[in-house]
Amino acid sequence: MPGITLGDTVPNLEVETTHGKFKLHDHFADSWTVLFSHPGDFTPVCTTELGAMAKYAHEFEKRGVKLLGLSCDDVQSHKDWIKDIEAFALGSKVKYPIIADPNKEIIPQLNMIDPIENGPSRALHIVGPDSKIKLSFLYPSTTGRNMDEVLRALDSLLMASKHNNKIATPVNWKPHEPVVISPAVSDEEAKKMFPKGFKTADLPSKKGYLRHTEVS
């Protein structure tokens, strides 16, 4: 995709939202943020997704992570749409702000464009407190997000950050499962860093690069 991507700083745009105006960097400054875009209000897949975000909001709150939506309509349209979202979500309240972008000026600056349809996309950035993009998802218009995978990926990022990116999470990893040690960490360093020890997979190459350990 063209535009900002992993490791890039999100532009410090002033945005109008359902919670008032603010600059993006001020919003990102003290926590991680899940920033997710939608092509438009009163659309079926987007309604289910924003409802799911409302249902999962407590999971993000437990992790100290903010939610920030974006849709290509104005604030009043968002407020009217929220009534439908909350009705669909069976009582879950939309407490997170939704950015208004009726002229579609913000969404390209955030690289949330669908290259197939050449328009606003169903995209998601996980942004760190340093206002840099740590992970991105881009979905076609026909495919809704999986909230469990968003949470799993977020947990992986938070775990890696906590350990200064000296660990990584293997395939299908879930919280409380073993992680792998970065190849940049020597065995001697690993013994000091991981008091629970580590297990090296016995592979034909005998290179000793696949090391599992337990962290919290």
> Among all chains, which residue has been given the structure tokens 């000091």?
192
- The alpha carbon of residue 94 and the mean position of all alpha carbons in its chain are separated, in whole angstroms, by 18
Task: List, in order, residues 6 or more apart from 84 with CB less than 8 Å away.
Answer: 42, 47
Q: Is 46 labeled as catalytic in the residue annotation?
A: yes
Cα separation of 122 and 141, whole Å?
6
- The alpha carbon of residue 214 and the mean position of all alpha carbons in its chain are separated, in whole angstroms, by 24
Considering the candidates 4, 15, 34, 46, report the single residue annotated as catalytic: 46
Beta bridge partners of 200: 211
Residue pair 153/127 in contact (Cβ under 8 Å)? The answer is no
159-167: long-range contacts, CB 8 A cutoff, minimum separation 24: 159/215, 161/128, 163/193, 163/215, 166/193, 167/213, 167/215
Tell me the C-alpha to C-alpha distance, in Å, between residue 179 and each of 120, 154, 165, 166, 169.
Answer: 36, 15, 11, 10, 5
Which are the catalytic amino acids?
46
